[in-house]
Amino acid sequence: MREYLNFYLNGKWEEPTGSRTWDVINPATEAVAGRIAMGEIEDVNRAVAAARRAFPSWSRTTREERLALLGRIIEVYQTRFNDMCAAISEEMGAPLWAAEKVQAAAPLGQLNIAMEVLKNYKFEELRGSTMIQREPIGVCGLISPWNFPVILMMAKVAPAIATGCTMVLKPSEYSPFSAQILAEILDKAEVPPGVFNMVNGDGVTVGAALSSHPDIDMISFTGSTRAGVDVAVKAASTVKRVHQELGGKSPNIILDDADFEKAVAAGMQGVMFNSGQTCLAPTRMLVPQSRMAEVTNIVWRVAANFNPGKPTENTFMGPVVNERQWTRIQELIGKGIEEGATLVIGGTGKPAGLEQGYYVKPTVFANVTNDMTIAREEIFGPVLAILGYDNVEDAIRIANDTSYGLSAYVQGGNMDRVREVGGRIRAGQVTLNASALDIDLTAPFGGYKQSGNGREWGEIGFEAFLEMKALIGYEPAAASLQPSRSGND
Ligand code: NAD
173 and 263 belong to one structural domain: no
268 and 410 belong to one structural domain: yes
CA of 215 to the centre of ligand 1 (A): 23
Q: Rounded to whole angstroms, how far apart are CA atoms 97 and 290?
A: 38
Task: State the closest ligand 1 atom to the C-alpha of 445, by its place in the atom list counted from 1.
Answer: 40
Hey, whose CA ends up nearest to atom 37 of ligand 1? Answer: 246
Contacts of 483 (CB under 8 A, 6+ apart): none
Task: State the closest ligand 1 atom to the C-alpha of 148, by its place in the atom list counted from 1.
Answer: 43
pTM of this prediction?
A: 0.96
CA of 200 to the centre of ligand 1 (A): 14
Per-residue pLDDT, 351: 97
Residue 138 is assigned to a structural domain of this protein: yes
Instruction: Write out residues in the chain with pLDDT < 70, as ranges.
Output: 478-489
Decide: 230 in ligand 1 pocket, CB within 6 A. Answer: yes
295 and 367 belong to one structural domain: yes
Hey, whose CA ends up nearest to atom 39 of ligand 1? Answer: 245
Task: State the closest ligand 1 atom to the C-alpha of 446, by its place in the atom list counted from 1.
Answer: 41
Residue 486 is assigned to a structural domain of this protein: no
Contacts of 404 (CB under 8 A, 6+ apart): 225, 246, 247, 248, 249, 250, 378, 447, 449, 450, 451
Hey, whose CA ends up nearest to atom 23 of ligand 1? Answer: 223
Decide: 91 in ligand 1 pocket, CB within 6 A. Answer: no
Ligand 1 pocket, mutate which of 110, 243, 279 (most atoms under 8 A from CB): 279
CA of 237 to the centre of ligand 1 (A): 22
Hey, whose CA ends up nearest to atom 42 of ligand 1? Answer: 279
Decide: 248 in ligand 1 pocket, CB within 6 A. Answer: yes
241 and 291 belong to one structural domain: no
227 and 310 belong to one structural domain: no
Q: Rounded to whole angstroms, how far apart are CA atoms 412 and 410?
A: 7
Decide: 44 in ligand 1 pocket, CB within 6 A. Answer: no
Q: Rounded to whole angstroms, how far apart are CA atoms 380 and 147?
A: 10
86 and 108 belong to one structural domain: yes
Domain CATH code at residue 363: 3.40.309.10
Which of the residues are catalytic? 245, 279
Q: CB of 213 within 8 A of CB of 141?
A: yes
Residue 442 is assigned to a structural domain of this protein: no
| E strand spans, 248-360 | 251-254, 284-288, 342-345
Per-residue pLDDT, 477: 74
Per-residue pLDDT, 478: 59
CA of 125 to the centre of ligand 1 (A): 37
Per-residue pLDDT, 476: 87
Decide: 388 in ligand 1 pocket, CB within 6 A. Answer: no
Residue 440 is assigned to a structural domain of this protein: no
Hey, whose CA ends up nearest to atom 40 of ligand 1? Answer: 245
Range of the domain at 356: 251-432
Decide: 172 in ligand 1 pocket, CB within 6 A. Answer: yes
Decide: 203 in ligand 1 pocket, CB within 6 A. Answer: yes
Hey, whose CA ends up nearest to atom 20 of ligand 1? Answer: 207
Contacts of 416 (CB under 8 A, 6+ apart): none
Per-residue pLDDT, 489: 39
Hey, whose CA ends up nearest to atom 34 of ligand 1? Answer: 247
Residue 279 is assigned to a structural domain of this protein: yes
Residue 336 is assigned to a structural domain of this protein: yes
Strand pairing report for 251-254 and 407-411? parallel
CA of 172 to the centre of ligand 1 (A): 8
Per-residue pLDDT, 467: 98
176 and 51 belong to one structural domain: yes
128 and 264 belong to one structural domain: no
Per-residue pLDDT, 443: 97
148 and 275 belong to one structural domain: no
293 and 414 belong to one structural domain: yes
Q: CB of 27 within 8 A of CB of 93?
A: yes
Residue 483 is assigned to a structural domain of this protein: no
Element (H, E) at 461: helix 458-463
Residue 219 is assigned to a structural domain of this protein: yes
346 and 213 belong to one structural domain: no
Per-residue pLDDT, 314: 84
Q: CB of 401 within 8 A of CB of 428?
A: no
Per-residue pLDDT, 488: 38
Decide: 389 in ligand 1 pocket, CB within 6 A. Answer: no
Task: State the closest ligand 1 atom to the C-alpha of 230, by its place in the atom list counted from 1.
Answer: 18
CA of 123 to the centre of ligand 1 (A): 32
20 and 121 belong to one structural domain: yes
Count of structural domains within the chain: 2
Domain CATH code at residue 34: 3.40.605.10
CA of 20 to the centre of ligand 1 (A): 21
CA of 145 to the centre of ligand 1 (A): 5
Decide: 222 in ligand 1 pocket, CB within 6 A. Answer: yes
Mean pLDDT of the chain: 96
